[in-house]
């Protein structure tokens, strides 16, 4: 092939990369816009808000986005699992953010708490869950009160891992835990178009198998490396990406320790940038039915 042909082939090969770069650059720009327009306070102090999260939401100004508190399930010990919905629950695009699923990795709760006061983009509702493992979060343990690692208990490629008492004990069967059943029911009911799961302590954004433009763009916005952290049997993110067509879910591994107010604001702005970007947000239909605790999936024990 002559030089001109080689050049044309090279240009064609570069087009997908250039398109990915432009999309990521657009997401970074949207992150700056989100930070400027969302009302997020870089110097806000999150201390003391964990206890306040259990009380009814205060009255908001008429111009503020609507907020609603929904109990989506209960833990082994009966603690409520609460979601704060910011914006119209029937919005065509939904973004779910979960601050903590391993009780010894609580830093993401600062992000979900901060997002409660944010203004989501038009046509987007934020579903914010501080803790999907309230028993583990109260005890400071990775596992729930049954000693099960909830991120090994989903139906996706579930298999036994570790004996009871082990760090990664996956439970006696998939969806054996009430928290796992509540989680799956919430995803099936709300059908979030983007889901972000916060973990610790690796300090990266995982190439989780969802939309890499969103994942890589989020990493750039928050200044974390983007790389594949490994696939785990029974992982929640793997289940979502494998079964929910037209949506994406990914993991953000926060650094060890508590997030600073500035860092939590930066992550919250990145969440809003993903919501504003609009991909793959237009692909999933809105949730059905009224807001209430989701039913237990068929075949799951109560």
Q: What is the pLDDT of residue 57?
A: 44
Structure tokens at 169: 């004990």
Q: Give the three-state DSSP class for 19.
A: helix
Q: What is the pLDDT of residue 244?
A: 84
Phi, psi of 239 (to 5 degrees): -60, -45
Q: What is the pLDDT of residue 6?
A: 42
Homologous superfamily assigned to 3-277:
Zn peptidases (3.40.630.10)
User: Contact at 8 Å (CB) between 99 and 113?
Assistant: yes
Q: What is the pLDDT of residue 14?
A: 41
Domain ranges of the chain: 3-277
Q: What is the pLDDT of residue 237?
A: 93
Q: What is the pLDDT of residue 28?
A: 52
Q: What is the pLDDT of residue 45?
A: 43
Q: What is the pLDDT of residue 12?
A: 40
The ranges of the chain with pLDDT < 70 are 1-63, 278-302
Q: What's the pTM?
A: 0.76
Q: What is the pLDDT of residue 8?
A: 40
- Beta strand pairing status for 124-131 and 80-86? antiparallel
- Cβ atoms within 10 A of the Cβ of 46, count? 17
Q: What is the pLDDT of residues 44-91, one digit of tens each?
A: 444 333 333 333 444 444 467 789 999 999 999 999 999 999 999 889
Nearest Cα neighbor of 84 from 46, 43, 112 is 112
């Amino acid at each position: 092939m002559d030089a001109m042909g080689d050049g044309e082939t090279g240009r064609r090969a570069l087009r997908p990369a250039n398109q990915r770069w432009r999309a990521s650059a657009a997401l970074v720009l949207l992150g700056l816009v989100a930070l400027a327009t969302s009302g997020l306070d870089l110097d806000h102090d999150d201390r003391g808000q964990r206890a306040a999260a259990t009380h009814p939401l205060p009255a908001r100004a008429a111009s503020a986005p609507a907020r609603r508190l929904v109990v989506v399930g209960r833990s082994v010990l009966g603690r409520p699992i609460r979601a704060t919905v910011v914006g119209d629950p029937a919005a065509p695009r939904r973004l779910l953010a979960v601050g903590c699923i391993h009780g010894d990795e609580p830093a993401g709760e600062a992000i979900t708490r901060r997002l409660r006061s944010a203004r989501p983009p038009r046509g987007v509702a934020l579903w914010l869950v501080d803790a999907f493992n309230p028993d583990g979060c109260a005890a400071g343990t990775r596992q729930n009160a049954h000693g099960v690692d909830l991120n090994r208990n989903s139906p996706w490629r579930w298999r036994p891992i570790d004996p009871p008492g082990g760090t990664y004990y996956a439970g006696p069967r998939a969806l054996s835990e009430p928290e796992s059943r509540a989680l799956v029911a919430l995803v099936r009911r709300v059908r979030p178009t983007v889901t972000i799961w916060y973990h610790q302590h690796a300090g990266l954004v995982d190439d989780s198998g969802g939309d890499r433009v969103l994942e890589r763009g989020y990493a750039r916005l928050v200044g974390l490396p983007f790389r594949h952290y490994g696939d785990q049997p029974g992982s929640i993110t793997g289940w979502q990406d494998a079964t929910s067509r037209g949506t994406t879910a990914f993991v953000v591994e926060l650094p060890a320790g508590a997030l600073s107010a500035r860092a939590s604001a930066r992550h919250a702005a990145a969440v809003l940038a993903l919501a504003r970007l609009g991909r793959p947000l237009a692909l999933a239909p809105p949730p059905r039915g009224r807001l209430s605790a989701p039913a237990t999936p068929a075949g799951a024990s109560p």
